[in-house]
Amino acid sequence: MKRNVWLTVFAGLIVFGLVGAVMVLTKGHSVFGTTDYVPWGILISTYIFFVVTSTGLCLISSMGHVFGIEPFQFIAKRAVLLAIVTLLAGFAVIGLELGQPLHLFWILLSPNPTSAIFWMGAMYSLYLVLMIVEFYLLMRGQHDWAKKAGLAAFVAAITAHSILGSIFGFLHARPFWEGPYLPIYFILSALISGTAILIVMYFIKEKDEMPSAIVPALTKLLMLFVGISIFFSIWKVMTGIYGHPYGKYEAFQALFSGPLSWSYWLFEVGLGMLVPVIVLLINRSRAAVFWVAATILVAIFFMRYNLVVVGQIVPLEVIDVSTSVAYLHFYRPTWVELSIVAGALGFTGFAYLWGEKKFNLNVSGHNKAVKTT
């Protein structure tokens, strides 16, 4: 009964997303809030959000069925299924964000090896294939082969996701993004997302008698990763404001007190860093852990939005670095962009619930299966 309610909600979101998809496919990017000055908007950050979730699920669930850490072994099938679903949702979002998705075959006919987007496309496609193979093998109970596929997917996930970070890191024209920070940070961010979403999934499926040992383990991991993320963020801020470097300093002003300040203080710093640390320090009850994990997922969505938008709203200094400009470019998502975001979330929920019904995900006894084979 409850399941049907959720399916209806998710189906509604998908329909809303399809309306947005039709809008953009017929009218082009004029229905987006993006401009020539801010060409990448919320759909890029949403794409990153989905693939960061998929990557994180792959990395954290690998601890169980690839690296053999006991408490993680019971969630493998669910994690791999959701990783595939979130990756497909991400692909749908980026497909609608492309101005000419039908031209995509040129990436095969005329690939440019110096383009990070080419490598990202190649690696995420490989990752998708490996995850599907892994899921198939897990369902067949062929755990030895699933482990090998899982290891390959683990390597592909780290490669693909750091390449996604490098898409930004390679842009010497964009001071906020440029450098080795983002490829590294993206992997950390995937670990947070993966841990948080596994906690959420565990509590939603609690009735199915998964071992409760996984919760303290995941909670400790979550605290560790959030702590590292605070450490990363502090040094990103410090190097960005020390000496007022052009492009970085203005970007942080936009985050601290400019157009993105609500999203930065409330979501990125508040819900993404301070609330998890404070709550987990004073209360580690099951409910608290669940809500912290859910909160972090929401916060990561806004973190990606901040990262993508703030890198572009500071005007490029085209003439000379010494004559900085005292304004910011404007970007606000339109309802069409938000509908595609909603549709992708609906697709994730719907496809996951469908998959859960379709496949038997409960019998996950890794060791047991190995013994019987």
Partner 1 sequence: MARYVMVVDTTKCVECYACRVACQTQNSLPPDKSFNRMEVRENGSFPNVKAHAYPLQCQHCDNPPCQHVCPTHATYKRPDGVVLVDPKKCIGCKYCMTACPYQARVFGKDQVAEKCRLCVELLEQGIKPACESTCMCNVRTSGDLDDPKSPVHALLANKKIVQLRPDHGTKPRLYYIV
Least Cβ distance, residue 29 to partner 1 (angstroms): 6
Per CB under 8 A, the segment of 169-177, 198-206, 252-260, 365-373 that binds partner 1 is 169-177
DSSP state of 316: P
Residue bearing tokens 């683990």: 154
Least Cβ distance, residue 112 to partner 1 (angstroms): 5
Q: What is the DSSP string of 152-210?
A: HHHHHHHHHHHHHHHHHHT-TT-TTT-SSHHHHHHHHHHHHHHHHHHHHHHHHTGGGT-
Least Cβ distance, residue 166 to partner 1 (angstroms): 11
Q: Is 170 in the site for partner 1 (CB under 8 A)?
A: yes
Nearest to 84 by CA among 133, 145, 119, 21: 133
Tokens of 194: 């993966």
Residue bearing tokens 């493998």: 76
Number of residues that bind partner 1 (CB under 8 A): 41
Q: Which of residues 78-107 bind partner 1 (CB under 8 A)?
A: 98-101, 103-104, 106-107
Q: Is 110 in the site for partner 1 (CB under 8 A)?
A: yes
Q: Which of residues 310-329 bind partner 1 (CB under 8 A)?
A: 311-312, 315-321, 323
Q: Is 22 in the site for partner 1 (CB under 8 A)?
A: no
DSSP state of 285: -
Rg (CA), the chain: 21
Is 292:218 a contact under the CB 8 Å cutoff? no
Per CB under 8 A, the segment of 14-22, 164-172, 206-214, 348-356 that binds partner 1 is 164-172
Q: Is 330 in the site for partner 1 (CB under 8 A)?
A: no
Among 10, 13, 14, 34, binds partner 1 (CB under 8 A): 34
State the CB neighbour count (10 A cutoff) for residue 209: 9
Is 131:58 a contact under the CB 8 Å cutoff? yes
Q: How far apart are CA 19 and CA 35, in angstroms?
A: 22
**Residues belonging to the chain:** 373
Least Cβ distance, residue 36 to partner 1 (angstroms): 5
Least Cβ distance, residue 315 to partner 1 (angstroms): 8
Compare residues 37 and 242 and give the one whose CB is closer to partner 1: 37
**Residues engaged in binding partner 1 (CB under 8 A):** 28-29, 34, 36-37, 39-40, 98-101, 103-104, 106-107, 109-112, 114-118, 121, 167, 170-174, 311-312, 315-321, 323
